[in-house]
Chains A and B, each alone.
Chain A
Amino acid sequence: WKKYWLLAPAPSSSARPPSLTTREPKACKALREEGVSVVLVNSNPATIMTDTDIADHVYIEPLTVEVIERIIAKERPQGILPTLGGQTGLNMAVALSDAGVLDRYNVRLLGTPLETIRKAEDREFFRNFLHDIGEPEPPNRTVNSMEEALAYREEMGLPLVVRPAYTLGGTGGGIANTQGEFEATVASGLASSPISQVLLERSLVGWKEIEYEVIRDGDDNCITVCNMENLDPMGAHTGDSIVVAPSQTLTDKEYQMLRSASLKIIRGLGIEGGCNIQMAEPDSPYYVIEVNPRVSRSSALASKATGYPIARVSAKIAVGKRLHEIPNAVTGKTGAAFEPALDYCVVKIPRWPFDKFPNGDRQITTQMKATGEVMAIDRSFEAALQKAIRSLEIGNRTLLCHGEGPDTRNLMEPNDLRLWALMAALRRNTPPEELMGKTFIDPWFISAMQRIVNMERRLLGETLTPDLLYRAKRLGFSDRQVGTLADMLPEQVRNLRHDWNLRPVYKMVDTCAAEFEAVTPYYYSTYEEENEALPLPGKKAIVIGSGPIRIGQGIEFDYCSVHAAWALSQAGVSSVMINSNPETVSTDFDTSDRLYFEPLDEEAVRDIIDNETVDDVPPPSVVQFGGQTAINLSQGPGPRRSAYPGLQRRCH
C-alpha cells in the first residue's frame, strides 16, 4: 500500500479561511477510494478533518518542521500533499524541503512542484515566469528594503500597491496613496514577509477583477471549472469583494482570451491539481495579478458555485489519475474532464466583523478583513444578491436600510456598507453614471441595483397585485422587505403569497445546465415554473446550519451540523441540510441526503418545510447544532417546530 499525507492549516482565522478545512475531508475520502492510506496533520480540533474516521491516522499537533519530521520518521509516508492545506501547507512543504526532511525520508511532493510554489509566491520568480510565457503583468518591482522601496516610488509615483511575499490574505500589505501611508505599509510588509520581501506594483485600482479556477492533470489535460467577476473593482482583496459567478460583463472573446491565458499559466507552472488565477481587465488588454498554485478560498467558492468537486478531483490527480478517468460524482455518468455550465447566477458576499467591532477601520483594502462569507444562487443577479444579503444575518437583512446607517461620505473607498450607500444614492436619484464614475463598479451591476430601487418604488406606491408580487419575488425581495414597503407584516405578505399561489420552486445545481440527468441532491430556490425538488419520501428531518463564520460562531457549529446529518442518515432518517455558507462541509452535496443552499431566515426555512411537507405533515427540524442562527430561527413567530426526538443532545 501507499501512504500519503495531507498537511492541513492551523486554526481558522480571517487569513486562514475555514473553507480550507472543507477541502481535506473530501480529499481524504478521494485518496482512500484509490487505496491510499492517509495520515493527516492539523492543529485544529473543531473540524471534521480531525475526526478519527476521516484519515487513517490523525495527528493533532502544531505545524512545525520539528514535529512533522518526527511524524514522518514514524509514519514513513511515500508522498506529501500540501496543496489542499492553503498557504500554510505550501509554506510547510517549502520549509520541510529546505530542512532536507523530504530528501532524508525520501518523501515525494505531490500536486505542485516545489519550484512552482516558489515561483508563484516569490515575486521575482513569478515576474520572470510571466515574462517567459509572454503573459502581461502590471509594472512592478520586488524590493527587500525601505531604501529600494523609496527609490521605486520616486520613479513611479503614487499610488502603489504593496504586496508582501509569502503571506496569507495579504497580511501587512495595502495600497499606499500618500507618502506616509507608503512608508508605513512598506515597513509592515517587510516585517510580515518571512523573507522580508515586498512587491511594489502599479495600482490597478478601479480595474475589473476576474478570477479563473483551473485544473490540470499529469497528462497536461486542462479545464477551467469556472470564472468569477468581482463586483468590487481592483483594490479590494478578493476575500473582501462581492464576487459573481460566472462573469457577467465579458464578451465570449474576452472570456476565452482570459481562459486561454489561465491555461497557459497552469501549464507553464506544471501544477497537477487546482489553481486560482486572478486577472485585471480595463477593456481589452489585461494583466495577470496573482496565481495561487493550490486549492484556495476561491476554489471552495467555485466548487459550491458549480457543483464541481475541485478538492476531490485535485486529490485524485495528485495520485496519478487523469481528468477523464475520474467519474463526475454529479451526473454519475460523465467524467471530470469537462467544464461546468451554469444556468443560474451566484453571488458571494463577505461577512465582516464590524457588527462586533463598530469602531474598527471599515475600509476595505488589499488586506482581508472578513471572517466568513455567504453565497446565494438564483436565476437573476438581483435575486441572488438580495438572497445573499438575507444570508449575512446582519441588520434587518435587506438592502433597505442598514442598522448602522449608510456611510455615504466616500463611496470611492470601499467599505462594508458601500452596497447600502449605493442603494441610498440611487434612491436619492443620483445618476447611475455618477456612481460608476465614483466607484468604478461596472454599470451592469449599478443597473441591476437601479432595477431593485425601481421595484421598491413600485411596492411603495402601487397596490400589491399578484403580478407585482411575482415580479418582486423574481427580483429576490423577501416577504419582510415587501411588507416594509407595502405596509404589511411579513406574515401577511406570506399569506397573500399563498392565496395567490406564489411559492418558490427549487432547481438543481447539476454542473451541466440540465444537459444530462444529474443525481446530486443540491438545490436552490427561485420563482419559476418547474419545481425539481419533489418532497423526499420516507422519514426525514431538516438540519438547520449555522450560516456565515463570524466572531462568536465559528466552524465548530458546522462540525455539529454535519454530524447531525450523518447520525440521521445512520438512523435511517433522510437528512435535509439548509445552509448559506460555501466554506463548510455541511454544504458539500454528499454530506446530507438533500442540500438546500438558502438563506437561514424564517421565510426560506418555512418555504423549504412547505416544499418537504407530505400529506400535511411537515418534517421535523433539528436546530440545536446550528449555533445561535438556528436557535433564533426556532423562536420566530411562525408555527412551532419540534426537534427530532432522537437528537436532543445539546452540542455544547
Chain B
Amino acid sequence: MGALATGHGEVVFNTSMTGYQEVLTDPSYAGQLVTLTYPLVGNYGINPQDFESAKIRVAGLIVREHCDRPSHGQSDRTLDEYLKAQNIPGICGVDTRAITRRLRQHGVMMGLLTTESPEAAVAQLAEMPRYDDQDLVRTVTTEAQYRWDGEPVTLEALPLTASGNISRPTLVVGSPGENSGETQEPRPRILVTDVGVKYNILRLLQERGCEVIAMPAATSAEDMLAMNPSGILLSPGPGDPQLLDYVVDNVRQVLGRVPVMGICLGHQLVARALGGQTYKLPFGHRGGNHPVQDMSSGRVYITAQNHGFAVDPDTLPAGLEVSHINLNDGTVEGTRHRDMPLFTIQYHSEASPGPRDNEYIFDQFLGMVKEFNH
C-alpha cells in the first residue's frame, strides 16, 4: 500500500475508528508513522471535503487491511491512490494490535518503513534524526499569511514553506470589519498562529462570523499586534514545544494584551511562555474517545486527542490554573488564567476526526473576545 518510498519517523498509534483522511492530513502527525488500531481502513475512500491541510502530513501509514474498492458517494479515489500520488509509503497486512501493545509497553519509538533488509533498516534508522530533536513546525507552517475564505480547494494553490525557510509576512490586510455589512457589528478578526493548523479550526471560526487570518509560526508579536486582532488562536502542531522558543517569545508578548486561546501545541506554548514546563508522555493520547473533566463544572466530555507532550501541572506559574484533566491518567487537559483573557485546551475542540461535543469551546473563546473588546 502507498508509495514505494522510505518512511521514517516516530511510530505512534491512533484508536479512532473513522477519520483516516483527516488523520493523514493533520499537520500534528508530521514526522510520525501512524498505526491505526482499527483494522479496516479506506472503506469510504478519499473525498474532496475532508482534508485538514493541503497535503498528507504523516511520514507513513501502518494498517491491518486497506480497502481497494471503497464505497461512498463522495469518494473520488482510493486511500492507496492518494498515498501513491503524494509519494507517502504505507504498509498493510501487519498485526497492528501487536504493534500497539508494544508501543504501550515500551513507549513510542523511532521506526522505518522500508523495502530493505531488517539489518540495513536498523543501520539506517540509527543514522536518522530523532523525532524529539526536530523542529517540525517549520515543515508545516504557512509561508505567508492568508485569509481563510472557505474551502481547501482555494488553499491548495497557496504556497507552502520549504523546510526551514520561514519568510516574514508580506500580505497587507485591511482593518477589521471591512467585509461586514453596514448594519452588522464588525466581524472579530482572529489571527490563527499556524504551528500546524487544521482546516476545521478555520472553518469553525469562519462559521461563527469571524474574519480568520492564518499567520506563519514565526510572526513577531509586533507584527501580530499591528494587525489589530480581536483575538489570537494558537493552533495545534507537531513536535516538542521545547524547540519552539522563537514562537514562545512572541506568544509571551501578546498574552494579556489580546484574548488568546491555545489548542494542543498552542496550549503547551502558552504554558511555556508563562514559565511552565512540558514533558513527553510515554505513548501519548491519540484517538477520539478520551474523557476530559471540566474542573469547575464537574462535567465530563468525550474529546478528540492527538498529542505526545503534556504540561507539567507542578510547574504552572501563579495565575495559570488547571481547568481540565484527563480522567484516564490525570494529565492536564486545559488551563485558564485568573487575570488575563486566556485559556487553553490540550484536546481538539475542532474534532475532525472525532466527537463534536466540544465545539462550544470556540463560542467561549469568542465570548471572551467580545467581552475584552467592549
Contacts and interface: CB of A to CB of B under 8 A. Distances in A.
Contacts of B18: 246-247, 250-252, 255
B50 A249 contact: no
Interface string A442-479: 11100100000000000000000000000000000000
Nearest to B328: A334
Interface in B6-26: 13, 15-19, 21-22
A260 B357 CA distance: 7
A343 interface: yes
Nearest to A336: B291
B301 to A, nearest CB: 8
Given A339-B289, A530-B95, A324 B327 contact: yes
Given A324-B291, A513-B37, A343 B96 contact: yes
A607 B355 CA distance: 40
A639 B300 CA distance: 54
B43 interface: yes
Contacts of B97: 343, 379, 507, 513-514, 528, 530
Interface stretch (A120-128, A217-225, A591-599): A217-225
B47 interface: yes
User: How many A residues are at the interface, by size bracket?
Assistant: 35 or more
B253 interface: no
Interface string B328-363: 100000000000000000000001111111000000
Contacts of B43: 248-249, 444
A252 B47 contact: no
B47 A251 contact: yes
Contact of A343 (B37, B49, B353): B37
A223 B352 contact: no
B298 interface: yes
A507 B98 CA distance: 9
Contacts, number: 157
B177 interface: no
B100 A221 contact: no
Is chain B's interface secondary structure helix, strand, loop, or mixed overall? loop
A487 interface: no
A500 interface: no
B350 to A, nearest CB: 12
B55 interface: no
Interface in B49-101: 49-50, 64-65, 67, 69-74, 94-98, 100-101
Contacts of A333: 328
B237 interface: no
Contacts of B96: 343
Residue of B71, B94, B293, B299 with highest tally of chain A CB at under 10 A: B71
B70 A444 contact: yes
A512 B97 CA distance: 11
Interface string A554-588: 00000000000000000000000000000000000
A344 B290 CA distance: 19
Interface string A290-324: 00000000000000000000000000000000111
A337 B299 CA distance: 11
Nearest to B70: A444
Interface string B263-302: 0000000000000000000000001111101000011101
A341 B16 contact: yes
B327 A337 contact: yes
A283 interface: yes
A330 to B, nearest CB: 13
Given A255-B18, A507-B97, A338 B71 contact: no
Interface string A252-268: 11011001100100000
Given A253-B49, A529-B98, A340 B300 contact: no
Contacts of B353: 252, 256
B40 interface: yes
A522 interface: no
Interface string A342-356: 111100000000000
A515 B15 contact: yes
Given A337-B300, A380-B40, A514 B100 contact: yes
Contacts of A528: 95, 97-98
Contact of B40 (A248, A250, A255, A341): A248
Contact of A338 (B16, B291, B298, B356): B291
Given A220-B299, A341-B38, 18 more contacts: A246-B17, A246-B18, A250-B44, A251-B50, A252-B50, A256-B356, A259-B355, A334-B327, A335-B327, A339-B302, A341-B16, A341-B289, A343-B37, A513-B13, A513-B15, A513-B38, A515-B13, A530-B97
Interface of A: 219-221, 223, 246-253, 255-256, 259-260, 263, 283, 322-324, 333-335, 337-345, 379-381, 442-444, 447, 507, 512-517, 528-530, 532
Minimum-distance CB pairs A-B, first 10: A252-B19, A530-B98, A444-B71, A513-B37, A252-B353, A341-B15, A339-B289, A529-B95, A252-B18, A443-B71
